[in-house]
Amino acid sequence: MLSILKRKVISVCPGLFFSLLLISAKANAALPTVEDPTRGQGSGIFETMQNYAYDAAVFAGLLIAVAGFCTVSYYAIQVFAEVQKPGGKKTWGDFGLLIAIGIILLVAVIWLLTKAAEIL
Q: What is the per-residue pLDDT for 80?
A: 92
Long-range Cβ contacts of 29-38 (<8 Å, 24+ apart): none
Given CA atoms 44, 48, 53, 58 in this order, what sign does their dihedral have? positive
Q: What is the per-residue pLDDT for 101?
A: 92
pLDDT band at residue 98 using 50, 70 and 90 as cut-offs? very high
Query: How far apart are alpha carbons 61 and 59 in whole angstroms?
Result: 5
pLDDT band at residue 89 using 50, 70 and 90 as cut-offs? confident
Provide the whole-model pTM.
0.61
Query: How far apart are alpha carbons 11 and 73 in whole angstroms?
Result: 57
Q: Within 10 A of 79 (CB to CB), how many other CB atoms are there?
A: 20
Residue 111 makes CB contacts below 8 A (sequence gap 6+) with none
